Chain A
Amino acid sequence: MNKEIISNKSAISLIVLFIFGSSLILPTATDAGSDLWISILLAIVFTIPIFLIYSRILSLYPNKDLFDILIIVFGKWIGKFLCLLFSWFAFHLGVLVLRNFGSFIITVSFPETPMIVPMIFLGLLGVWVVKEGIEVLGRWSWIFFIFNAPAPTLVTLLLIPKMDFNNILPLFYNGSKAILKGTFSAFSFPFGEVVILTMIFFCLSNRKSSYKVFLSGLFIGGIPLAGISLVEILVLGPDLYKASYFPNHSVATKIGLGDFLQRLEILVLIAAVTGGFVKISVCLMACSNGIAKVFNLKDYRSVIFPMGLLMINFSYLIYDNVMEQIAWADEIWPYYAFLFQAILPIIVFIIAEIRKSSKIKSGRNSDE
């Protein structure tokens, strides 16, 4: 078995950067219009029970990841089938994130560079860091968590003169239905995606730490995210927010403090790319781990390279253009992802609880 252990600190920063990853560049909860920051806050509240379920599943079987647990709980055949499904989800999410970053980078900064170029670089770096193991990735994300933390704060402070509170008033203008719709899409992107991390957290330092890691990750990542969305709405207004593919970037281009503090969008770009890198690496690690578990491989490292290359290829081919990408993210993704983010984990949780308690009743002879 793996002997890798990551500290709570690195695990939390992994979750935070994972949440920040692509939500720093793409809009979320656009259905709610000017109330989308309320939607995101609500989504955080609704995510708490789901994250408690994730943590409970992990703490029931310490030092095991979701794939091990699936096989233990459902038996060999159904368990392996579910493993395959979850690996596909991780793979697919990795592909989408890679594609998002490819199109983001070529749209905002390198319009004449072929899209595959930034994607190859990001993908190969991801392969490298995953080969080095989760400890390295965890420590790396801790460093970049600290490095990136000032960027959103600075951007927010510098945008204060451009804010207009009429953009968010009146509150609840679009009605509660729109807010709930926004909440749903904010849950599926980005909070629910954290389910990928349960697939690699075989390495938490102790039994109780999963609760702490997931919940503090949610708050440290989610509340700034709601704040940034609020800033975006305050500056751009709901209509322009919806009309731009990458609202956070376009909000950062509005910074202008005299002649010297300008063009700070590069800060946002760095924060987004580092977050996206973590997201891609985590997805790659999760799907390689799942494939390894399904085919009884000794170590997931042997499949990282082929999976990484497949990911790059697939992300290049998956959409024809950026319009298709946004339509998919808006209309299909929330429902598709909900299966993996909430329904399946809840089933796993219920069955695992039943198994555990019946085991305790029949005596703790075979436990652990």
Chain B
Amino acid sequence: MKYKVTFLILIISFSFNFLTGCWNYREINDFRIVTGVAIDYDKTNKEYILTVEVIKTIADENEEKMTGETFVSNGATIFDAIRNTITESGKRLYWSNATVVIVSEEIAKRGIVPVLDMISRDPEMRSELLLLISKEDTAREILTSKSIAPQRVVSYSLETTLENEESSSNFHRVAAWMFIKDLYSEVNSPTCPGVKLGIYDETQTIEGTTVFKGDKLVGWLDKNETKYFLWITNKLKGGVYNLDISHKENLNIKELNLEIFHNKTKQKLKLKDENIVIYLDINTSGNIGEFSGNIDISDPDEKSKIENIIEKQIQRDIELLIKKLQLGYQSDILGFRSIVKKEIPDMWKSEIKENWEKYYSELEVNVTVDFKIRGSSNSSKPIIIRD
């Protein structure tokens, strides 16, 4: 018995020494933690340029600060460029904590698949990485720009902005795997948000949505159109909607701004003598965020009048966006194909799938909007000027 116990203790103490950690462990100071990456393409040298942001800690007198530090490397392929970062940074890069990938517009126009392939194939990179397309000349500019305080790491501040999509609705965040999923799917076209440098300061602004056809970028939606895009696809969660009413001079309204609380869009499909008609039934409620003019909103009649104006405006803008996508970009990022496939699978399989481009350009879309003003924040009446 005694012999057994001693033997057991011996084994355990041996295990403590030899069975700790993994096969090839790496100390944390042996590598650099990547937070984000920007990918550009150099046409003249035909190579990819990779800008990698890594965490750098600075020990101050009383606190330890975290900032970003960028390295540049190049290579014939992206994987090659990644490995070449060693010569720049001196240490191996650790990719599992990376949060954003910024791709230059040029790569997106040539086809974004090489970037996505690297993300989905490499086990060290998480497919949760958020995709961004740079609206500036290069993607590198974004990562090397000044970062928004308090987060001094550009990638992290981009990530935080992307996570607050609900309150602005100027963009729609997309993780790399979702983008890949949409590329794979026969009924969806991928989108992803754009990023540019601000006009008044040098920090990053995320707004707008890309329009992809296949894996190639064909155009952009601006931030208002992004809102309509979210409206149609039932992804709108909130945000501020600015009504353009300057052309209606007889209304006594100078400015009207809405804060959206809740939205529900129902997408339906009906066949009208062999023609496919898609019905979008939009139900939205919101607050009046800003208002100046000469209308008493506490009066129910006036309120419903304003609601009417808002509904008409939203409907017109949504129809405009649909026409633009149908005839201009000819890209179905709104996912009308998935409605067709869901509602009339037999017809989709036998006929529409092959000739979708033709069907899409002739597709009739019927938009009905129901907007409810739920309140007007703190003031019941507009500020009236009586000199």
Chain A contact residues, CB within 8 Å of chain B: 107-114, 117, 166, 169-170, 173, 236-237, 239-240, 243, 250, 253-254, 256
Residues on A with C-beta less than 8 A from B349 are: 173
Residues on A with C-beta less than 8 A from B186 are: 239
Q: How far is the CA of A173 from the CA of B350 in the complex (A)?
A: 12
Residue B84, interface by CB 8 Å: no
Q: How large is the interface on B (under 10, 10 to 19, 20 to 34, 35 or more residues)?
A: 20 to 34
Residues on A with C-beta less than 8 A from B342 are: 166, 169-170
Q: How far is the CA of A109 from the CA of B22 in the complex (A)?
A: 10
Minimum CB distance partner of B349 in chain A: A173
Contact flag A237-B22 (CB < 8 Å), given A107-B123, A166-B338: no
Other-chain contact of A110, B23, B181, B343 (Cβ < 8 Å): B23
The reply to whether A173 and B184 form a contact with Cβ atoms under 8 Å apart is no
Q: How far is the CA of A294 from the CA of B241 in the complex (A)?
A: 79
The interface bits of chain B over 109-151 (1 if a CB of A lies within 8 angstroms of the residue's CB, else 0) are 0000000000000011011100000000000000000000000
Interface centre among A240, A243, A256 (most CB of B within 10 A): A240
Minimum CB distance partner of B124 in chain A: A111
Minimum CB distance partner of A237 in chain B: B181
Residues on A with C-beta less than 8 A from B338 are: 166
Residues in B162-201 with C-beta less than 8 Å from chain A: 175, 177, 180-181, 184-187
Residue B341, interface by CB 8 Å: yes
Minimum CB distance partner of A244 in chain B: B120
> Distance (Å) between the CB of A134 and the closest chain B CB?
25
> Distance (Å) between the CB of B185 and the closest chain A CB?
6
The reply to whether A117 and B23 form a contact with Cβ atoms under 8 Å apart is yes
9 cross-chain pairs, A with B, having the tightest CB-CB distances, nearest first: A239-B184, A113-B23, A170-B345, A169-B342, A240-B181, A237-B181, A166-B338, A170-B342, A112-B24
Q: A110-B23, A114-B23, A240-B177 are in contact. List 9 more A-B contacts (CB 8 A).
A: A107-B123, A109-B123, A110-B22, A112-B23, A170-B341, A173-B349, A237-B184, A239-B185, A253-B127
Chain B contact residues, CB within 8 Å of chain A: 22-24, 123-124, 126-128, 175, 177, 180-181, 184-187, 335, 338, 341-343, 345, 349
> Distance (Å) between the CB of A277 and the closest chain B CB?
17
Contact flag A250-B127 (CB < 8 Å), given A166-B342, A170-B341: yes
Q: How far is the CA of A106 from the CA of B114 in the complex (A)?
A: 24
The reply to whether A237 and B185 form a contact with Cβ atoms under 8 Å apart is yes
Q: How far is the CA of A78 from the CA of B246 in the complex (A)?
A: 94
Residues on B with C-beta less than 8 A from A110 are: 22-24
Contact flag A254-B345 (CB < 8 Å), given A112-B23, A166-B338: no
Minimum CB distance partner of A251 in chain B: B177
Residues on B with C-beta less than 8 A from A109 are: 123
Residues on A with C-beta less than 8 A from B345 are: 170, 173
Interface centre among B123, B180, B181, B343 (most CB of A within 10 A): B181
Q: How far is the CA of A256 from the CA of B184 in the complex (A)?
A: 23
Residues on A with C-beta less than 8 A from B127 are: 250, 253-254
Q: How far is the CA of A169 from the CA of B187 in the complex (A)?
A: 12
Minimum CB distance partner of B344 in chain A: A170
Other-chain contact of B177, A111, A114, A169, A254 (Cβ < 8 Å): A254
Minimum CB distance partner of B341 in chain A: A170
Q: How far is the CA of A243 from the CA of B180 in the complex (A)?
A: 11
Contact flag A254-B128 (CB < 8 Å), given A112-B23, A113-B22, A166-B338: yes
Q: How far is the CA of A154 from the CA of B366 in the complex (A)?
A: 41
> Distance (Å) between the CB of B182 and the closest chain A CB?
9
Q: How far is the CA of A170 from the CA of B343 in the complex (A)?
A: 7
The reply to whether B24 and A113 form a contact with Cβ atoms under 8 Å apart is yes
Q: How far is the CA of A214 from the CA of B186 in the complex (A)?
A: 41
The reply to whether B341 and A111 form a contact with Cβ atoms under 8 Å apart is no
> Distance (Å) between the CB of B190 and the closest chain A CB?
12
> Distance (Å) between the CB of A173 and the closest chain B CB?
5
Q: How far is the CA of A150 from the CA of B151 in the complex (A)?
A: 37
Residues on B with C-beta less than 8 A from A108 are: 123
> Distance (Å) between the CB of B346 and the closest chain A CB?
9
Q: How far is the CA of A170 from the CA of B175 in the complex (A)?
A: 25
Minimum CB distance partner of B339 in chain A: A166
Q: How far is the CA of A256 from the CA of B177 in the complex (A)?
A: 13
The reply to whether B24 and A253 form a contact with Cβ atoms under 8 Å apart is no
> Distance (Å) between the CB of A102 and the closest chain B CB?
13
Supply 18 A–B pairs (Cβ within 8 Å), ascending by A.
A109-B123, A110-B23, A110-B24, A111-B124, A166-B187, A166-B338, A166-B342, A169-B342, A170-B345, A173-B341, A173-B349, A236-B181, A237-B181, A237-B185, A239-B181, A240-B177, A240-B180, A250-B177
The reply to whether B184 and A240 form a contact with Cβ atoms under 8 Å apart is yes
Q: How far is the CA of A110 from the CA of B22 in the complex (A)?
A: 8
Residues on A with C-beta less than 8 A from B185 are: 237, 239
> Distance (Å) between the CB of A308 and the closest chain B CB?
20
Residues on B with C-beta less than 8 A from A253 are: 126-128
Minimum CB distance partner of B175 in chain A: A254
Residues on B with C-beta less than 8 A from A173 are: 341, 345, 349
Minimum CB distance partner of A171 in chain B: B345
Residues on A with C-beta less than 8 A from B343 are: 170
Residues on A with C-beta less than 8 A from B181 are: 236-237, 239-240
> Distance (Å) between the CB of B174 and the closest chain A CB?
13
> Distance (Å) between the CB of A260 and the closest chain B CB?
14
> Distance (Å) between the CB of A170 and the closest chain B CB?
4
> Distance (Å) between the CB of A256 and the closest chain B CB?
6
The reply to whether A111 and B184 form a contact with Cβ atoms under 8 Å apart is no
Residues on B with C-beta less than 8 A from A107 are: 123
Residues on A with C-beta less than 8 A from B175 are: 254
Q: How far is the CA of A239 from the CA of B185 in the complex (A)?
A: 6
Residues on B with C-beta less than 8 A from A256 are: 128
Minimum CB distance partner of A165 in chain B: B342
Residues on A with C-beta less than 8 A from B24 are: 110, 112-113
Q: How far is the CA of A108 from the CA of B123 in the complex (A)?
A: 6
Q: How far is the CA of A170 from the CA of B341 in the complex (A)?
A: 7
> Distance (Å) between the CB of B71 and the closest chain A CB?
23
> Distance (Å) between the CB of A171 and the closest chain B CB?
9
> Distance (Å) between the CB of B365 and the closest chain A CB?
18
Residues on B with C-beta less than 8 A from A237 are: 181, 184-185
> Distance (Å) between the CB of A130 and the closest chain B CB?
21
Q: How far is the CA of A236 from the CA of B180 in the complex (A)?
A: 10
Residues on B with C-beta less than 8 A from A243 are: 184
Residues on B with C-beta less than 8 A from A250 are: 127, 177
Residues on A with C-beta less than 8 A from B184 are: 237, 239-240, 243
> Distance (Å) between the CB of A113 and the closest chain B CB?
4
